[in-house]
Structures are given as C-alpha cells and as structure tokens.
Homo-oligomer: A and B are copies of this chain.
C-alpha cells in the first residue's frame, strides 16, 4: 500500500517518504508495544485473581468496569483547575447551567446518532421503562427545552456521558467521559451566537495555555451543496459526509477508496470532492467559492458561504480571526448539524504530541504542523428540538463541546514533567506537639482554627512524633506548623514554624477563652 502522507498530501509525497511522520511512527509504535505489554500483564493478573488467591477461596476481581477509570486526588486537583477556567469563561459570557439525569428513556435517544446508536448503553429491563445512559449532553438538552417549552436560553452543562466504544484506554479513549457543553438556543440574527461560541473556544484554549491551536470552520450546507454539484446522489449525502469526516484520521487515498469501493461513488465525483476538501482559507475563500462556477450553482452552498462571510466579519470584531480557518474538509460525524460546524485542534508538537498521536492511533494530519487532535467541536443544529416538540416547533440552537478528557491528559502530562508539586489539599497549618500527652490541647487549638475558617489538620494519634508530623507537612505541602509544648502552654503562646525555611515565631493564644489572637 503506498498511501499518501496526510501531512503533505497536497504535495503528493508517498507516506513512507515523509520523515516527520516516520519519526512519529517509530515513537508511537514503541509506545503502543509498551502499552500492549501492559495490557497483557493486566489480563494475566486478572485471570490469576479470578482463579483465586493462595487460600483457595473466591476472590473479587478488583477493577473498574472496562473503559472506565477512577480519578485519584492528584488527577482531581488538575480536573478542578481545568473546570474552574472553563466555568469562569462560560459565566463571563452570561451562561446559566442545568443538569439532567444520567439516563433517559431509550426512545429519547433513538434516531439521533445515526450509525453510532449501537454504542449506546442500555439498562436492564427490571420492570418499568426502558432506559439508556446518555450518549451526549445535546440530545438531553433538546429534550429539556421541548419538555419545558423553553425557546431562549444560554446554558452550559458539564457531566459524564457514556459510549460502548472500542476500548482504547491506553490511548486515552474512555467509555465514561466528561462532556463540557455551552449552547445558545433561540431565534436570533444570523451568526451572532455562532461567533460567540467560537470566541469562547478561543478564550478557553488561550487561557488553558495548551500551546498553539487552530479552529476549523465549515458549514453543513456548503458540504451538501458541494456533494450535489460533484454529482453525489441525494441519498448518499450523509454516508459520504461521514467518510469525509475521517480525513483527520485517514489519508485522502483511503477516504477516496472508501467512497468509491464501499459507498459506490463514481471516481469522477470523488476526485471533484477531493479538490474541494483540500481548500483552506478565510473570508476570501468564501468569496472565491461564491464565484466558483460549479459551487455557485447550489443555493444551499451559497447560503452557507454567505454566512461564513458574515461569521468572519463578527470574528474580526471579536479579534479571533488569527486562529480560525475556513476548511472544506471539516465534516463532523453527527447527524443533527444543520449549519455552521467547527472543530479546534492543537497544533503544537510539544509535550502533548505523544499522547495524542497515540490517541489518534495513526500519525499525520491535515495541518501543516503536527496536529495533536481535536479539543473542541460543535455547530448549529436547528432541527433537533423540533424532533421532540409535539407540534414540531423549532428552536434554533448552536453550541460547542470542549474535549475535556484530552485536555486533562495534556495537563496531567504537563504536571508530571513540571518540577512543581501538585497539592491535593489546601491545608494551611498543621497543629503539632513536640511532647507527649498534649492531644487535648492539639484538638482544642485545631477546633479554634476551624471555627476561624482556617484550613487546619491534626494527627489522629495520642502521641505522634514531631518528625512524623513535620514529614506529613512536607509531603502534602502544608506551609505552616503550629507547635504546642508545656512551656508554650504556660506562656500562653503557640510556636508557628514555616515548614520551608524552619523560621519560628511565637504567637499569643488565649486557649482558655477559646479565642486565637
């Protein structure tokens, strides 16, 4: 197979000649082998556990469900930091938040996800309703709007969703994962809310400091118009669209093969599509395509192209055009998009490249620099709420989903590389004693600190060693120790020590009237 390298496919170099891909391939393959060994070892250990321990009795298999993971305190500290950044941005833009149940009636999810419906988790029929775990937050949002007859809302929703996807945990793909959505519902003037969604993606990726990024933009109407003028039969629009969507993972050669061999498209039509999907640009590309002899024949495409122009004019006002690219290869898989669609990708080959190459499963991308995968995506879906409304009343919507799991992985990696220690608690002071039999005094002082709103800890031992108390401070990054001793109690003071410098000062404490001064 002589596939063309996606990194350079516009130059028609065969993949094997692209040295940057070769390097990455070698790196990735090494990583994949290591991960495979890990997986094999895990399987053997599980088998051993199933067969029972040394005492011969049945043992629990100590694991989380396939494709899921626990978050330890360090991971939670990073998660909290990322969430705070994102939620601050959503709040800055005036969003409210809602929550919906983790499961929905099965029929609520039916017919919304196309081929991906097979990945939905169903609950066992234990009598009563047939239920499924939510697959995303968008369909529950549309159900919520229709059910409560809400026609205007700007909301965010951060919650876990569930997909029985191919297990690829070692590549960062989970069956339980967070989605982090911001959506604007309502009948408004064209492209203003759409532009705000892109502004939000820009702000979040900028603030999280993940390195350089690009936001690709396209429009479903442009894609459909393009398919029409290239001679794709009407009933093949969706299936050809989902093949185009694979361009970020597969070479154009392979995508074309799938179109022609599997989906029965004519070679000529495929080649014409190939020409269009290699185009990237800004407002001028939209202008250019509006003049394009073939494209301009499609009313749909023209409507989409005009909106792209309008969108870019608002993006200029928002000062974000430096990162936004109009890219005709962007398709996005989901059925429900009706207008503008977008996807943000990190473009820096820095700390994140290994993870994400591993995540993508294949090297190469449509970006000039090495793409490290999608970290946000969304678009306009004007028909979804109407599918739930008994009278079919439409509520136009546009939204964006932040790919938080990938962002977590990158941040975790960054934290590991960095010298700075991740603190998992916020404790300010440890109440300790150097002598024995001072438990009561320690407990009393700790309670005073808690009552004064100070984050404080005390060891749950009657007579802990001073060394082990100080060690705990160093391990968990507690900056101060309040040390009690016979002499201090007599003098009515507490010795306060700075853990890092071992500096000590005495503070007056009136322990008998329960007031720390």
**Interface core residue of A49, A68, A454, A514 (most chain B CB under 10 Å):** A68
Asked if A53 contacts B391 (CB within 8 A), the reply is: yes
> What is the copy number of this chain in the assembly?
2
A132 to chain B, nearest CB (A): 9
Given A188-B460, A199-B447, verify A129-B66 contact (CB < 8 Å): yes
Is A126 at the interface (CB under 8 A from chain B)?
A: yes
Given A66-B129, A101-B69, verify A92-B319 contact (CB < 8 Å): no
Question: Among residues 46 to 66 in chain A, which have CB atoms less than 8 Å away from a CB atom of chain B?
Answer: 49, 53, 59-66
Asked if A443 contacts B388 (CB within 8 A), the reply is: no
Is A209 at the interface (CB under 8 A from chain B)?
A: no
- A residues with a Cβ closer than 8 A to B are 49, 53, 59-66, 68-73, 76-77, 79-80, 91-105, 107-108, 121-126, 128-129, 131, 133, 143-144, 146-148, 153, 155, 160, 162, 164, 176, 184, 186, 188-189, 192-193, 195-196, 199, 203, 314, 317-319, 387-388, 390-391, 424-427, 439-440, 443-444, 447, 450-451, 453-457, 460-462, 514
Closest to A187 in B: B460
Can you list 16 residue pairs at the A/B interface with Cβ under 8 Å? A53-B391, A61-B107, A64-B104, A65-B101, A65-B105, A66-B129, A68-B103, A70-B100, A71-B100, A72-B98, A91-B455, A95-B425, A121-B126, A122-B123, A124-B124, A314-B443
Asked if A455 contacts B92 (CB within 8 A), the reply is: yes
A318 to B514, CA, bound (A): 10
A426 to B155, CA, bound (A): 13
A126 to B73, CA, bound (A): 32
Given A73-B98, A121-B126, A391-B53, verify A105-B460 contact (CB < 8 Å): no
Asked if A62 contacts B388 (CB within 8 A), the reply is: yes
Asked if B70 contacts A101 (CB within 8 A), the reply is: yes
Asked if B104 contacts A65 (CB within 8 A), the reply is: yes
Given A390-B59, A456-B92, verify A64-B121 contact (CB < 8 Å): no
Chain B residues whose CB sits within 8 angstroms of the CB of A125 once the complex forms = 124
A440 to B310, CA, bound (A): 12
Asked if A49 contacts B94 (CB within 8 A), the reply is: no
Asked if A462 contacts B189 (CB within 8 A), the reply is: yes
Given A69-B101, A73-B98, A121-B126, verify A390-B53 contact (CB < 8 Å): yes
Given A70-B98, A129-B65, A388-B60, verify A450-B93 contact (CB < 8 Å): yes
Asked if B390 contacts A317 (CB within 8 A), the reply is: no
Asked if A68 contacts B105 (CB within 8 A), the reply is: no
Chain B residues whose CB sits within 8 angstroms of the CB of A192 once the complex forms = 439, 443, 460-461
Asked if A76 contacts B62 (CB within 8 A), the reply is: no
